[in-house]
Structure 1
Amino acid sequence: MSRLDLANKLSHDPWFMSRSLEKRIVPMCSFLKSVVLCDDKLVYILKHKSCIFSGNLSKNVIPNVELVRKLGMPQSCIVLLLTRYPIVLRKPELFSQLVAEVEQWGFDSRKSSFVLAMNALCRKETTWKRCDQAYRRWGWSDNDIVAAFKMDPLCMILSEKKIMATMDFFVNKMGWQSHTVAKYPHVLSYSLKKKIFPRFSVVRVLVLKGLIEEHKLNLGSVISVSEGYFLNRFVNKYLNQVPQLLDVYQGKMATF
């Protein structure tokens, strides 16, 4: 960890200095390194997720990690759990209840979606409730919300502002049915400015020019594909017919 990173960390989280080096910091670092197996990830935790050092290693963190290991959770998912979310700080009885709830939803402990679902479900009284209310404003039913969550747990930890802005774009500007968006919940996590606006601006032009048929498109084919594939499939292919298409994609020409 660089001196500058350390200075920034301690200036923002001075409480870190109050932790015992021998009893808390060194043991936790040793344990984390044995799991994440990478100095870079350990430094990331120190810089961004140091709240884990406030937890009890022997009573909470280790038993919780052992529990998900017994369920077959792979190393990559355990690393995700430790580097992104402070769920492992929970008391083992509460942690095991959360794990059981995620299993009841049908998530596979061998996949990263299990960890994402844990993160969403542990915030049921706050973030989850806010997301639920936001989606219902767009007409989503219980079945829509359940299905969307199972496909992409991240859709239930988004901010209300993000949900409303993205749904407004797809429903009011693109003319999609809100229930259609529920079938592709991962699109809600993408950046409006960097990904959604540019790609659908291109699609809008192609539809208006009669070069593609809107009813044959789905959100996944536009949003989920790689940058290179999108450029070849929707931009480069039509540059002869629509020379300004690249400018549209780069935001140099407004279409909405």
Structure 2
Amino acid sequence: MNKRLISLSFSLRSSVQLHRPPLYHSISILFYSSSKPKRSKFNFVSKDRRSKSTPKVAVAEYLINQHQFSPEAALKASSSIAFLKNTAEADSVLSFLKESGFSKTQLEEVVKRIPRILRANLDTAIKPKIKIFQDSGFSNSDIADVISSDPWILRRSADNRLGPAILALKNILGSNAGVLKVLKLSGWYLKYDLEKTMIPNIEVLKSLGISSSQIFNYICHFPRFYLHTQESIMDFVRRVDEMGFDRKSKMFLSAIRTISSMSLETWERKIKLFQSLGFSEKGVLTAFRRAPQCFVYLRRRLRR
């Protein structure tokens, strides 16, 4: 397979550099003789399909010749979708994203990570998602930055996920600038109902005396922490309390987050590792209270 990919990449590079039409037949033989790619879960595909007699177009050649993709990006995309039956759909999607402020690099990143976007229905699968961001006050360049950093955002439901999640983040962070910073680091928040996860968890942490600035800092750096259930957060707090942690300590939130990041079995293995290095049970708890974040390290790093 590696030899075939190398041969294809060389063929594609040569065709671009020499301004010659790509070698359609050689590419088809080298690459597209492989088994059919798995069907995507994307509900992107338009109902309007051409007849089976419509000639198929090789994705790699299409992206390079029609949209000036790099051979590497075209090859990556074509590993999931070998051919297109309807290039008109792909043209409309790619042209729209270009007009919406996506740079060549950003466009390639989106297509590499979700090649099925080439078969998307522009009016029902793409435009509503972009409009949600625009209606929320984001500029085209901001939208391009966020989506290219996590293209799977385009799989979210515009009304049921994107809109409510963006609004919740804006209410929590106070500005689009804050939302933009968070989403560039993690588009995870747009997958969840934040009214049922993040917001209740923030209220719990505030009730424990943890400062808003520390809570907001963790929103950027540890996004998955806030997506636990409220019951789970309370259980993590209980376990930290049982270790004798002072709730007024600046390390209190770090301790909760550390406990949330590992299973009970992993925690017990960390305890045994410290004990094997000469720590008493009391010494392990003292170390945890002073620097809970160290317990997140891999065992090899801890041992060293």
State TM-score, norm by structure 2.
0.46
Q: Please give the alpha-carbon distance, in whole angstroms, between the structure 2 residues aligned to 1:105 and 1:77.
A: 22
Q: Please give the alpha-carbon distance, in whole angstroms, between the structure 1 residues aligned to 2:246 and 2:162.
A: 33
Partner in structure 1 of residue 282 of structure 2: 143
Partner in structure 2 of residue 61 of structure 1: 198
Q: CA offsets per residue over residues 30-75 of structure 1, 9 Å max, x none?
A: 3223333354442232122322222222222222222222222221
Partner in structure 2 of residue 121 of structure 1: 259
The answer to whether residue 185 in structure 2 is matched with residue 52 in structure 1 is no
The structure-2 alpha-carbon separation of the partners of 1:119 and 1:9, relative to structure 1 and needing over 3 Å to count, comes to same
Counterpart pick for 1:33 among 157, 160, 170: 170
| Residue type of the alignment partner of 1:43 | L
Q: CA offsets per residue over residues 95-152 of structure 1, 9 Å max, x none?
A: 2222222233343445541221111112144653453344333222222211100111
| Residue type of the alignment partner of 2:252 | F
Any conservation in 2 of the 1:60–1:90 contact (CA below 8 Å)? yes
Partner in structure 1 of residue 153 of structure 2: 16
The within-5 A match list for 1:1-256 is: 10=147, 13-37=150-174, 39-85=176-222, 86-122=224-260, 123-125=262-264, 128-165=267-304
Any conservation in 1 of the 2:165–2:194 contact (CA below 8 Å)? yes
The structure-2 alpha-carbon separation of the partners of 1:63 and 1:7, relative to structure 1 and needing over 3 Å to count, comes to same
Instruction: Name structure 1 gaps, 5 residues minimum.
Output: 166-256
Partner in structure 2 of residue 219 of structure 1: none
Q: CA offsets per residue over residues 145-184 of structure 1, 9 Å max, x none?
A: 111001111111112232233xxxxxxxxxxxxxxxxxxx
Q: Please give the alpha-carbon distance, in whole angstroms, between the structure 2 residues aligned to 1:111 and 1:74.
A: 11
| Residue type of the alignment partner of 1:113 | M
The structure-2 alpha-carbon separation of the partners of 1:32 and 1:10, relative to structure 1 and needing over 3 Å to count, comes to closer
Any conservation in 2 of the 1:65–1:78 contact (CA below 8 Å)? yes
Q: Please give the alpha-carbon distance, in whole angstroms, between the structure 2 residues aligned to 1:30 and 1:110.
A: 31
Any conservation in 1 of the 2:146–2:180 contact (CA below 8 Å)? no
Report SS of the residue matched to 1:78.
helix
Any conservation in 2 of the 1:45–1:83 contact (CA below 8 Å)? yes
The structure-2 alpha-carbon separation of the partners of 1:95 and 1:46, relative to structure 1 and needing over 3 Å to count, comes to same
Q: CA offsets per residue over residues 67-104 of structure 1, 9 Å max, x none?
A: 22222222112213322222221122222222222233
State TM-score, norm by structure 1.
0.54
The structure-2 alpha-carbon separation of the partners of 1:29 and 1:12, relative to structure 1 and needing over 3 Å to count, comes to closer
Instruction: Name structure 2 gaps, 5 residues minimum.
Output: 1-137
Residue-pair matches, total? 165
Cα RMSD, aligned residues only:
2.9
Q: Please give the alpha-carbon distance, in whole angstroms, between the structure 2 residues aligned to 1:26 and 1:120.
A: 31
Q: Please give the alpha-carbon distance, in whole angstroms, between the structure 2 residues aligned to 1:20 and 1:164.
A: 46
Higher helix share: 1
Instruction: Flag the structure with larger Rg.
Output: 2
| Residue type of the alignment partner of 1:159 | L
Any conservation in 1 of the 2:168–2:195 contact (CA below 8 Å)? no
Identity of aligned residues (%): 26
Any conservation in 2 of the 1:80–1:115 contact (CA below 8 Å)? no
Any conservation in 1 of the 2:166–2:179 contact (CA below 8 Å)? yes
